Structure 1
Amino acid sequence: MLKQYLQFKLSQKLSPQQIQLMKLIQLPTQAFEQRLKQELEENPALESGKEEIESLNDEFDDPYDAETDGERIEAEDINIDDYLSDDEIPDYRTQANNYSADDDEKSVPYASGTSFNQYLLNQLNTVYLNDEEWAIAEFLVGSVDESGYIRRPLSDILDDLAFTQNIYTEEKTIERVLHMVQQLDPPGVAARSLEECLIIQLERKEGTPSIDLAIAILKKSFEQFTKKHYKKLIQKHNVTEEELKSAISEIEKLNPKPGGSYSGNTRIIEHVVPDFSIRIVDGELELTLNGRNAPELHVSREYSNMLKGYKESKEKSKSQKDTVLFIKQKLDAAKWFIDAIRQRQQTLFITMNAIMQYQKKYFLTGDERNLRPMILKDIADEIQMDVSTVSRVANSKYVDTPYGTKLIKQYFSESMKNELGEDVSTREIKKILETVINEETKKKPLTDDKLAAILKEKGYPIARRTIAKYREQLGIPVARLRKQI
C-alpha cells in the first residue's frame, strides 16, 4: 500500500548566473579574452567598445523570466514598458569598463619560419647523394625529434624503409648515411643518445688536449662521468685533477638538446599575461587590475529599437511575437554577462588586495623569508568569501611585482613551528635551505643529514626526509650529483 507524506528539505542550488560568474572568475586573462570573444559572437545584443549614442541604460528594465512555474509566457505577456522604463537601471548594469586613457594593449609578435626538419632538409641539398642515399637521408631527417635526436634503433628504421618506402637496403648503408646527416647543423643533430650527441659536438671542434681527453672520457667512461666518480676518472685516464677539470669544462659547454637551439623552431610559445600589477609608490603598495580583464561592454541599441517598434506597431504578427521572445532572451543574457564581468572585477581585486596586505612585508622587501604562512582559508576569512572563490582567483593567475612576474598560488604555504614556537612559512625554510646549499663547498657537498643539522642550528627542527622533499621541490640534486672538482 502506497503512503503519501510531506517532507521538508533544505538544499542550496546555484543559479545559472552564479555558475557563469564562478567560471569567469577562474579564467586567467588570456582565457577570459577568448570567453569574451565567444560571448560577443554568440549574443548579438552584446557589443564591445564605447557607445557613441545616448546610453541605453534608461531604456530597459529587469524583465520577467520567459518561463515561470513551467508555464510559457507569450509575447503579449511581456510588458514592453518594463524594458523601456526610465531611471531604473544604473549605468554600471549595462556597461562594464575599467580602461584609463594611458592604458595601451600590448601584444607580443611571434615570428614564423620553417620547421626544424625542413631546415635540415634544406642543408641536405648541398650534400652529394645518390637517389637511394637521398631517400634514406630524408627518412632519417623525418625521424629527428624536436630535441634533435633519433630515438629509434637502425633495425626498426630498416624495416620501415622496406615497408613504407619500398627501399631495401642494409643496416650498414643506413649507418653510413646517418653519419652524413650528423654532419648537418646544429652540431650533435641526429644522435641516437646523449653520449653520441656530445661526442659529435666535440669532434667538430678544433682538437686540443682538453677536448681529446673529454672525447676519451665520453667514449670509455661515460657512466663514471655521469655519476661524478672523479677519482676513478683520474686513475683510469692517468691525468691530473686540473686536466680533468679542464676536460669537464669543455663537456659542460656542449648542448645536450641541439634541436632546441634552432631559432626557427615553430613550437607553441606560452606567453604569460599578468592579471594584476603591484608597484611601490612612496613606500606604499599600489595594486592595479590588468585593463584587459575589464572590457568596455554595452547592450545593443538596435535591440532596444526593435522593442520600440513592436510596441508601436498596431498589428502584431506571429513572427514579431517570436522576435520579441528572442530579443528578451538575448537582452537578459547580455545584462547578466555584463553584471558577471563587473562582479568578477570586484572579486579579483578584493581577493588580490587581501593577499597583498597579508604579505605586505614581502611585497615591500622582496625577501621570501618575509613570507607569512598563508592558506586559502586565511584570505577567505579576511574577505568574507568562500574558500573555493579564493582558490579560483589564485589558480592560474599571475601578478607583476617589482621582483618579477609570479604565480599567485606560490604565495600560499603551510606553516611550521620553529624552536621558539613561532609559525614560519615553508617557503621561508626552503629559501634558507637553498641558500645553505648555494654556499656549500662544492668539492664536498652537504648530505641531507648535514643539511638537517644546519637548519636545526638555525632554529628549524626538520627531519631528514623533509629536507629531501624540499630539496626535490626546489629541483636540487643529491649531494653526490652536486659535487664538483
Structure 2
Amino acid sequence: MALSQGLQQKLLQKLSPQQIQLMKLLQIPTANLEERIKEELEENPALEEFKEDLHSDSENPVDEFDSSDDEDFELDGSEEQYDNIDISEYVSEGDDEIADYKLRDDGYGEQEERQTLPFKVETSLHENLVNQLGMLSLDERQYTIAEQIIGSIDDDGYLRREITSIVNDLAFRQNIETSEEEVESLIQQVQQFDPAGICARDLRECLLLQLQRPLEASNENVQNAIVILKKYFDEFIKKHYEKIQRSLSISEEQLKEAIQVIIRLNPKPGGALEEVNKAASYIIPDFFITNQNGILELSLNSKNAPDLRISEGYRDMLKEYDRGSKKDKRQKEAVLFIKQKIDSAKWFIDMIKQRQHTLYSTMHAIMTYQEEFFLTGDETTLKPMILKDIAEKIELDISTVSRVANSKFVQTEFGTYRLKFFFSESLSTDSGEEVSTREVKKILTDVIEAEDKTKPLSDERLTEILQEKGYNIARRTVAKYREQLNVPVARLRKQL
C-alpha cells in the first residue's frame, strides 16, 4: 500500500467559548435567567449583585487566601505568568464604570421590575392517590401492594403495566409474594378513588368507571351510554351512529343524549389535577408591547436580570497588592487568581448585556415587520415572515434569531404570544400577492367553526372555498394545515 503526502485547504468556522455561552444565555427565557445568574454569583465571588445597602467592608474576601499551607493552592499558568502580572487596568483611577456597571437599559419595564415573582404549591397525582389509601382497610402487606399499583399509574391516570409485571416487581423488589387475583382486587379498589376513571387499563374502561359511579348509573341516558361503551365502542369512536341507533332500537334524541353523556367524560383523569396545577402556572413575558396613540413601544422584562458589578472587595485587594513593596510567590498566586475571577465576572456581565441587546433588537425587528398586527390584533394582517427576514434586518445569524424565537414570549394588549407564532411561510393569491400561511389557517379555522356540524365540510369542499376566496391552494395543503390545527377529518367532526 503506497503512502502519499498532500496539502489540503479547509475553511472551518469555530465558535469561541464566549459565543457558545452567549448562545446558551439567549435560549434561557426570563423565567429561568434569575437561576442562571444565581449560579454564576455562587461560582464567582468577584461578581456581586448591586444593592444600595451593600458595603464592601461587610465581608472580607481576603480570607480565602489566609491559609498557611501553600500546597493547597494550585496556580493555573506558568512561572512567567505570575512573575509579570499587569494589574494597571484594574487599579487605575477613574475606572468606576467597572465597579458600578449596571445592566439597566431604557427598554426595561420599570413597573415589571417592582413586581414579585409568583410561585405555586402542587400536589402530584400519585401523592393524592396515596393519601386516599388511608380510606381503605388494608394491612401493611396489602398497603405495599396498593402503593406499587399507584406507582405504576401514568401521569394521565392510566395503569398500562401488565398485572404479571406488577406481581414480579413485588416479588423481586419488595419480597412480597402475591397473585394476579389479589392485585386485580386492589386495582378495582383504587379505581374507586378520585378523580373518577383513575387506574383504568384503556379508554373504554376509563369512561365506564366514570359512568358506573352510584350517582351516575341510575340515569337512563347514562345506562344507554354504558351499553354503547360496552357493546358498540368501535362504532362509537368511528361515529357510526346510525348503526348504534338501529342496534339499540332507540330514538335519535335518545342516542344524542347518550352521546352527550360520553362526550362530557374526562378521557385523561390524571390530567384533572394537572390542569389545577397548570392554573397556578404563569407565563412570564420576555417583552411588552404597548400602543401609545398609534405608536408601538417595546420594553424588555428586567425582572430577573439584577444589576451586577465587580466586587469592590476584590478590586481593593488588587490595590493593596499594587501599593505593597514585598511581593512573594504566595501573594502573586493569590492576585493572579483574583485577576482571573474579575475577568470572568466582567465577561459574564458583558454576556448578559449582549443577551439583552440581542433580544431587544430581534423583538424590535419583529414588531416593525408585523406592525399592523400589533396595532390591530387581527391575525389575517400577519405578513409572511421567515427567520432569514429578521436575521438580515438585524445582521445576525439565522440560528441566533431561531434561539430567541423558540423560547421567548411577548405580551400585547391582545394576549401573550410565543415569538415563533409570528413566523410563517408565504402563499400566493390569484392577484399574485404573497400572503402569510397564518392568514390562510385563520380563514380555514373560521370556515370550519362556521360549518354545519351535522354535515361537516370535506377537505375537497374546504379547498374549493379557499380557492373561491382567491387563495391558490391544493387539497393536500388544506389537509396539512387542518392537521397542524389539530382539526379531525370531516367524518369525526360530525355531530347529531
**TM over 0.5: same fold?**
yes
2:429 aligned residue (410, 418, 434)? 418
Q: 1:186 maps to what in 2?
A: 195
State whether residues 149 and 191 of structure 1, in contact with CA within 8 Å, keep that contact through their aligned partners in structure 2. yes
Instruction: Mark the CA change 1:435 to 1:88 in structure 2 (over 3 Å): closer, same or farther.
Output: same
Is residue 406 of structure 2 the alignment partner of residue 395 of structure 1?
yes
| 5+ residue gaps, structure 2 | 57-76
State whether residues 182 and 189 of structure 1, in contact with CA within 8 Å, keep that contact through their aligned partners in structure 2. yes
Q: 1:61 maps to what in 2?
A: none
Q: CA deviation at 1:417?
A: 0.8
Q: 1:65 maps to what in 2?
A: none
Q: CA deviation at 1:472?
A: 0.8
SS in 2 for 1:291: coil
The code of the aligned residue for 1:111 comes to: V
Query: Equivalents in 2 of 1:8, 1:139: separation in Å?
Result: 62
| 5+ residue gaps, structure 1 | 56-69
State whether residues 97 and 297 of structure 1, in contact with CA within 8 Å, keep that contact through their aligned partners in structure 2. no
Query: Equivalents in 1 of 2:144, 2:7: separation in Å?
Result: 81
The code of the aligned residue for 1:152 comes to: R
Is residue 101 of structure 2 the alignment partner of residue 94 of structure 1?
yes
Answer with 378-387 or 431-440: which moved more: 378-387
Q: 1:228 maps to what in 2?
A: 239
2:205 aligned residue (171, 196, 206)? 196
SS in 2 for 1:117: helix
Q: CA deviation at 1:475?
A: 0.6
Q: 2:397 maps to what in 1?
A: 386
Instruction: Mark the CA change 1:267 to 1:152 in structure 2 (over 3 Å): closer, same or farther.
Output: farther
1:322 aligned residue (325, 333, 336)? 333
Is residue 400 of structure 2 the alignment partner of residue 369 of structure 1?
no
Q: 2:296 maps to what in 1?
A: 285
| C-alpha RMSD of matched pairs (Å) | 3.3
1:304-343 matches, cutoff 5 A: 304-343=315-354
Q: 1:25 maps to what in 2?
A: 26
Q: 1:58 maps to what in 2?
A: none
Q: CA deviation at 1:189?
A: 1.9
SS in 2 for 1:277: strand
The code of the aligned residue for 1:244 comes to: L
State whether residues 147 and 257 of structure 1, in contact with CA within 8 Å, keep that contact through their aligned partners in structure 2. yes
Query: Equivalents in 2 of 1:148, 1:15: separation in Å?
Result: 47
CA deviation string 1:323-349 (max 9, x = no partner): 221122112112222222222222211
1:104 aligned residue (86, 91, 114)? 114
Q: 1:46 maps to what in 2?
A: 47
Instruction: Mark the CA change 1:451 to 1:51 in structure 2 (over 3 Å): closer, same or farther.
Output: same
Q: CA deviation at 1:252?
A: 1.4
Q: CA deviation at 1:311?
A: 1.4
Instruction: Mark the CA change 1:202 to 1:349 in structure 2 (over 3 Å): closer, same or farther.
Output: same
1:440 aligned residue (448, 451, 455)? 451
Q: CA deviation at 1:381?
A: 2.0
SS in 2 for 1:278: strand
1:108-123 matches, cutoff 5 A: 108-113=118-123, 115-123=124-132
State whether residues 109 and 301 of structure 2, in contact with CA within 8 Å, keep that contact through their aligned partners in structure 1. no
Q: CA deviation at 1:354?
A: 0.9
State whether residues 245 and 255 of structure 2, in contact with CA within 8 Å, keep that contact through their aligned partners in structure 1. yes
Q: 1:148 maps to what in 2?
A: 157
State whether residues 29 and 408 of structure 2, in contact with CA within 8 Å, keep that contact through their aligned partners in structure 1. yes
Instruction: Mark the CA change 1:166 to 1:299 in structure 2 (over 3 Å): closer, same or farther.
Output: closer
CA deviation string 1:143-192 (max 9, x = no partner): 33332222234444455555555655554444444333322222222222
Instruction: Mark the CA change 1:232 to 1:348 in structure 2 (over 3 Å): closer, same or farther.
Output: same
SS in 2 for 1:298: strand
SS in 2 for 1:94: coil
1:48-63 matches, cutoff 5 A: 48-50=49-51
Query: Equivalents in 2 of 1:438, 1:192: separation in Å?
Result: 34
Paired positions, count: 470
Instruction: Mark the CA change 1:263 to 1:394 in structure 2 (over 3 Å): closer, same or farther.
Output: closer
1:264-279 matches, cutoff 5 A: 271-279=282-290
Q: 1:59 maps to what in 2?
A: none
SS in 1 for 2:303: helix
SS in 2 for 1:109: coil
The code of the aligned residue for 2:87 comes to: I
Answer with 277-286 or 267-276: which moved more: 267-276
Q: 2:224 maps to what in 1?
A: 213
State whether residues 376 and 390 of structure 1, in contact with CA within 8 Å, keep that contact through their aligned partners in structure 2. yes
Query: Equivalents in 1 of 2:149, 2:190: separation in Å?
Result: 8
Q: CA deviation at 1:88?
A: 5.6
Instruction: Mark the CA change 1:13 to 1:73 in structure 2 (over 3 Å): closer, same or farther.
Output: farther
Query: Equivalents in 2 of 1:472, 1:434: separation in Å?
Result: 11
State whether residues 198 and 255 of structure 1, in contact with CA within 8 Å, keep that contact through their aligned partners in structure 2. yes
Q: 1:60 maps to what in 2?
A: none
Q: 1:250 maps to what in 2?
A: 261
Query: Equivalents in 1 of 2:334, 2:143: separation in Å?
Result: 66
Runs of 4+ in 1 over 6 A off after TM superposition: 3-11, 263-270
Query: Equivalents in 2 of 1:241, 1:463: separation in Å?
Result: 37
Instruction: Mark the CA change 1:6 to 1:462 in structure 2 (over 3 Å): closer, same or farther.
Output: closer
Query: Equivalents in 2 of 1:150, 1:391: separation in Å?
Result: 39
